[in-house]
Amino acid sequence: MDSNKKLGLIGRNISYSFSKKFFEDKFQKLMLKGFSYDIFDLNEIDEVENLFSTPELLGFNVTIPYKEKIIGYLDELSDEAEKIGAVNCVAIQNGKRTGYNTDAFGFEKTLLLHKKAHHTSALILGNGGAAKAVKYILDKHGISSKTVARTSELNFENLDKETVRNHQLIIQTTPVGTFPNVEDCLGFPFEGLSNEHLIIDLIYNPNYTQFIINAAEQGAKTVNGYYMLEQQAEKAWEIWNFQKK
Protein backbone atom coordinates (compact mmCIF):
# COMPACT_ATOMS: atom_id res chain seq x y z
CA MET A 1 0.00 0.00 0.00
CA ASP A 2 1.25 3.41 -0.94
CA SER A 3 1.01 5.10 2.47
CA ASN A 4 2.41 8.42 1.45
CA LYS A 5 -0.16 10.95 2.54
CA LYS A 6 0.16 11.61 6.22
CA LEU A 7 -2.21 13.54 8.46
CA GLY A 8 -2.53 13.64 12.21
CA LEU A 9 -3.24 15.47 15.43
CA ILE A 10 -0.85 17.17 17.82
CA GLY A 11 -1.68 17.83 21.45
CA ARG A 12 -0.86 16.53 24.90
CA ASN A 13 -2.51 13.45 26.51
CA ILE A 14 -4.74 12.91 23.49
CA SER A 15 -5.11 9.14 23.23
CA TYR A 16 -8.91 9.57 23.54
CA SER A 17 -9.08 11.64 20.36
CA PHE A 18 -12.10 11.54 18.05
CA SER A 19 -10.10 12.66 15.02
CA LYS A 20 -8.23 9.44 14.26
CA LYS A 21 -11.38 7.34 13.96
CA PHE A 22 -13.21 10.13 12.11
CA PHE A 23 -10.54 10.41 9.41
CA GLU A 24 -9.86 6.67 9.15
CA ASP A 25 -13.60 6.12 8.58
CA LYS A 26 -13.50 8.86 5.96
CA PHE A 27 -10.57 7.24 4.10
CA GLN A 28 -12.49 3.97 4.09
CA LYS A 29 -15.75 5.52 2.93
CA LEU A 30 -14.03 7.38 0.10
CA MET A 31 -11.93 4.28 -0.66
CA LEU A 32 -8.73 6.29 -0.37
CA LYS A 33 -5.60 4.18 -0.33
CA GLY A 34 -2.39 5.66 0.96
CA PHE A 35 -3.75 7.99 3.62
CA SER A 36 -2.89 7.68 7.29
CA TYR A 37 -3.95 9.71 10.34
CA ASP A 38 -1.77 9.49 13.45
CA ILE A 39 -1.79 10.84 16.97
CA PHE A 40 1.32 12.86 17.84
CA ASP A 41 1.37 13.29 21.60
CA LEU A 42 3.94 16.03 22.28
CA ASN A 43 5.23 16.86 25.74
CA GLU A 44 6.50 20.21 24.49
CA ILE A 45 5.60 22.21 21.39
CA ASP A 46 9.21 22.28 20.07
CA GLU A 47 8.88 18.53 19.35
CA VAL A 48 6.70 19.59 16.40
CA GLU A 49 9.93 20.28 14.46
CA ASN A 50 10.49 16.50 14.13
CA LEU A 51 7.00 16.18 12.72
CA PHE A 52 7.62 18.87 10.11
CA SER A 53 10.54 16.83 8.78
CA THR A 54 8.19 13.87 8.06
CA PRO A 55 8.06 13.28 4.30
CA GLU A 56 4.59 13.40 2.69
CA LEU A 57 2.97 15.21 5.61
CA LEU A 58 -0.10 17.06 4.23
CA GLY A 59 -0.93 18.66 7.54
CA PHE A 60 -2.35 18.08 11.00
CA ASN A 61 -4.95 19.20 13.51
CA VAL A 62 -3.91 20.98 16.71
CA THR A 63 -5.58 20.61 20.09
CA ILE A 64 -4.98 21.60 23.74
CA PRO A 65 -2.52 22.99 24.77
CA TYR A 66 -0.84 24.01 21.48
CA LYS A 67 -3.41 26.07 19.54
CA GLU A 68 -1.60 29.31 20.31
CA LYS A 69 1.95 27.97 20.71
CA ILE A 70 2.01 26.42 17.22
CA ILE A 71 1.83 29.87 15.60
CA GLY A 72 5.55 30.53 16.08
CA TYR A 73 6.35 27.47 13.94
CA LEU A 74 4.24 28.49 10.92
CA ASP A 75 5.03 30.55 7.81
CA GLU A 76 1.59 31.99 7.27
CA LEU A 77 -1.87 32.28 8.84
CA SER A 78 -5.30 32.45 7.24
CA ASP A 79 -7.17 35.72 7.91
CA GLU A 80 -9.34 34.05 10.53
CA ALA A 81 -6.46 32.36 12.33
CA GLU A 82 -4.63 35.67 12.43
CA LYS A 83 -7.63 37.56 13.85
CA ILE A 84 -8.40 34.81 16.35
CA GLY A 85 -4.80 34.24 17.46
CA ALA A 86 -5.22 30.46 17.53
CA VAL A 87 -4.74 27.63 15.04
CA ASN A 88 -6.29 24.16 15.05
CA CYS A 89 -5.42 23.08 11.51
CA VAL A 90 -2.07 23.22 9.72
CA ALA A 91 -1.60 22.55 6.01
CA ILE A 92 1.77 22.00 4.37
CA GLN A 93 2.31 22.65 0.69
CA ASN A 94 5.73 22.74 -0.98
CA GLY A 95 7.30 23.07 2.45
CA LYS A 96 5.16 26.08 3.37
CA ARG A 97 3.29 25.75 6.67
CA THR A 98 -0.06 27.57 6.87
CA GLY A 99 -2.26 27.77 9.95
CA TYR A 100 -6.07 27.86 9.82
CA ASN A 101 -8.81 28.04 12.41
CA THR A 102 -11.64 25.63 11.63
CA ASP A 103 -12.92 25.76 15.24
CA ALA A 104 -14.56 29.06 14.32
CA PHE A 105 -16.40 27.41 11.42
CA GLY A 106 -17.51 24.47 13.60
CA PHE A 107 -18.66 26.69 16.44
CA GLU A 108 -20.56 29.00 14.09
CA LYS A 109 -22.51 26.09 12.61
CA THR A 110 -23.40 24.86 16.12
CA LEU A 111 -24.40 28.33 17.32
CA LEU A 112 -26.65 29.09 14.34
CA LEU A 113 -28.37 25.73 14.69
CA HIS A 114 -29.42 26.35 18.29
CA LYS A 115 -29.47 30.02 19.17
CA LYS A 116 -32.72 31.96 19.56
CA ALA A 117 -33.36 35.66 19.03
CA HIS A 118 -33.04 36.46 22.76
CA HIS A 119 -29.49 35.03 22.97
CA THR A 120 -27.84 38.42 22.64
CA SER A 121 -25.29 38.28 25.44
CA ALA A 122 -22.92 35.48 26.33
CA LEU A 123 -20.48 34.27 28.94
CA ILE A 124 -17.40 32.45 27.63
CA LEU A 125 -15.95 30.12 30.26
CA GLY A 126 -12.19 29.81 29.74
CA ASN A 127 -9.71 31.85 27.72
CA GLY A 128 -7.65 29.35 25.69
CA GLY A 129 -7.50 28.83 21.93
CA ALA A 130 -11.07 27.53 21.62
CA ALA A 131 -12.41 30.49 23.62
CA LYS A 132 -10.74 32.86 21.15
CA ALA A 133 -12.50 31.19 18.20
CA VAL A 134 -15.82 31.39 20.09
CA LYS A 135 -15.38 35.09 20.80
CA TYR A 136 -14.54 35.79 17.14
CA ILE A 137 -17.83 34.18 16.03
CA LEU A 138 -19.91 35.89 18.74
CA ASP A 139 -18.45 39.26 17.67
CA LYS A 140 -19.22 38.43 14.04
CA HIS A 141 -22.90 37.86 14.94
CA GLY A 142 -23.18 40.92 17.16
CA ILE A 143 -23.51 38.93 20.40
CA SER A 144 -21.83 40.74 23.29
CA SER A 145 -19.71 38.54 25.53
CA LYS A 146 -17.75 38.45 28.76
CA THR A 147 -14.93 36.05 29.53
CA VAL A 148 -14.87 34.12 32.79
CA ALA A 149 -11.45 32.62 33.52
CA ARG A 150 -9.25 32.01 36.53
CA THR A 151 -7.16 35.09 35.85
CA SER A 152 -9.74 37.47 34.35
CA GLU A 153 -11.61 40.25 36.11
CA LEU A 154 -14.77 38.14 36.03
CA ASN A 155 -13.64 34.77 37.39
CA PHE A 156 -15.00 31.57 38.90
CA GLU A 157 -14.71 33.06 42.40
CA ASN A 158 -16.79 36.21 41.78
CA LEU A 159 -19.24 35.04 39.07
CA ASP A 160 -22.71 35.34 40.63
CA LYS A 161 -26.12 34.00 39.66
CA GLU A 162 -27.28 37.50 38.71
CA THR A 163 -24.61 37.74 36.00
CA VAL A 164 -25.54 34.25 34.80
CA ARG A 165 -29.23 35.24 34.70
CA ASN A 166 -28.40 38.22 32.48
CA HIS A 167 -26.31 36.22 29.98
CA GLN A 168 -28.53 33.62 28.39
CA LEU A 169 -25.86 32.06 26.21
CA ILE A 170 -23.06 30.21 28.03
CA ILE A 171 -20.16 28.57 26.23
CA GLN A 172 -17.98 26.21 28.26
CA THR A 173 -14.56 26.05 26.54
CA THR A 174 -12.34 24.61 29.30
CA PRO A 175 -11.26 20.95 29.38
CA VAL A 176 -12.71 20.51 32.90
CA GLY A 177 -14.90 17.40 32.93
CA THR A 178 -13.31 15.72 29.90
CA PHE A 179 -12.84 11.94 29.98
CA PRO A 180 -11.41 10.36 32.13
CA ASN A 181 -12.11 13.08 34.75
CA VAL A 182 -15.85 12.97 34.15
CA GLU A 183 -16.76 13.81 37.76
CA ASP A 184 -15.00 17.19 37.55
CA CYS A 185 -17.04 20.33 37.08
CA LEU A 186 -16.29 24.04 37.05
CA GLY A 187 -17.48 26.01 40.06
CA PHE A 188 -20.51 27.77 38.54
CA PRO A 189 -23.73 29.31 39.96
CA PHE A 190 -26.08 26.92 38.15
CA GLU A 191 -29.07 28.34 40.06
CA GLY A 192 -28.79 31.44 37.83
CA LEU A 193 -29.82 29.33 34.81
CA SER A 194 -33.35 29.06 33.39
CA ASN A 195 -35.13 27.51 30.43
CA GLU A 196 -34.24 30.66 28.47
CA HIS A 197 -30.56 29.68 28.60
CA LEU A 198 -28.57 27.90 25.93
CA ILE A 199 -25.46 26.08 27.17
CA ILE A 200 -22.85 24.93 24.67
CA ASP A 201 -20.14 22.76 26.22
CA LEU A 202 -17.34 22.19 23.69
CA ILE A 203 -16.42 18.86 25.30
CA TYR A 204 -17.63 15.81 23.35
CA ASN A 205 -16.28 13.01 25.53
CA PRO A 206 -18.32 12.27 27.62
CA ASN A 207 -21.53 13.16 25.73
CA TYR A 208 -22.96 14.66 28.88
CA THR A 209 -20.43 16.40 31.08
CA GLN A 210 -21.24 17.11 34.71
CA PHE A 211 -21.58 20.74 33.60
CA ILE A 212 -24.28 19.82 31.04
CA ILE A 213 -26.08 17.58 33.56
CA ASN A 214 -26.15 20.37 36.18
CA ALA A 215 -27.32 22.92 33.60
CA ALA A 216 -30.07 20.63 32.26
CA GLU A 217 -31.39 20.16 35.80
CA GLN A 218 -32.08 23.92 35.82
CA GLY A 219 -34.11 23.60 32.60
CA ALA A 220 -31.46 25.07 30.29
CA LYS A 221 -31.11 23.83 26.71
CA THR A 222 -27.77 22.02 26.42
CA VAL A 223 -25.55 21.10 23.48
CA ASN A 224 -22.21 19.28 23.53
CA GLY A 225 -19.19 19.74 21.27
CA TYR A 226 -19.71 16.79 18.93
CA TYR A 227 -21.28 18.63 15.99
CA MET A 228 -18.69 21.41 16.23
CA LEU A 229 -15.92 18.81 16.21
CA GLU A 230 -17.36 17.05 13.17
CA GLN A 231 -17.79 20.31 11.28
CA GLN A 232 -14.30 21.61 12.05
CA ALA A 233 -12.88 18.23 10.93
CA GLU A 234 -14.80 18.39 7.62
CA LYS A 235 -13.47 21.89 7.07
CA ALA A 236 -9.90 20.71 7.79
CA TRP A 237 -10.35 17.90 5.25
CA GLU A 238 -11.46 20.46 2.67
CA ILE A 239 -8.35 22.58 3.37
CA TRP A 240 -5.95 19.63 3.08
CA ASN A 241 -7.53 18.49 -0.18
CA PHE A 242 -7.50 21.94 -1.66
CA GLN A 243 -3.78 22.06 -0.83
CA LYS A 244 -3.14 18.77 -2.57
CA LYS A 245 -4.40 19.83 -5.98
CA distance 102 to 86: 10
pLDDT at 243: 62
pLDDT at 245: 46
pLDDT at 123: 98
CA distance 70 to 86: 8
Q: What percent of the chain has pLDDT over 90?
A: 90
The answer to whether residue 242 scores a pLDDT higher than 90 is no
The answer to whether residue 89 scores a pLDDT higher than 80 is yes
Domain 5-101, second-level architecture: 3-Layer(aba) Sandwich (3.40)
- Which one is catalytic: 67, 109, 135, 235? 67
Question: Annotated catalytic, 116?
Answer: no
Averaged over 142-148, what is the pLDDT? 98
Q: Please, which pLDDT band fits residue 144 given cuts at 50, 70 and 90? A: very high
What pTM does this model have?
0.93
Instruction: Characterise 73 by phi-psi region: left (phi > 0), alpha (psi -120 to 50), beta (else).
Output: alpha
If you average pLDDT over every residue of the chain, what do you get? 95
Taken as a whole, the chain contains a residue count of 245
Q: What percent of the chain has pLDDT over 70?
A: 97
- Summarised one tens digit per residue, pLDDT across range 20-71 is 999 999 999 999 999 999 999 999 999 999 999 988 999 999 998 999 999 9
132-221-63 Cα angle (round to 5): 30
pLDDT at 27: 95
- CATH 2.130.10.10 applies to domain 104-226: no
The answer to whether residue 196 scores a pLDDT higher than 60 is yes
Q: Please, which pLDDT band fits residue 16 given cuts at 50, 70 and 90? A: low
- Summarised one tens digit per residue, pLDDT across range 217-228 is 999 999 999 999
pLDDT at 1: 39
Domain residues of the chain, as ranges? 5-101, 104-226
Least confident of 10-19, 87-96, 229-238: 10-19
Averaged over 67-83, what is the pLDDT? 97
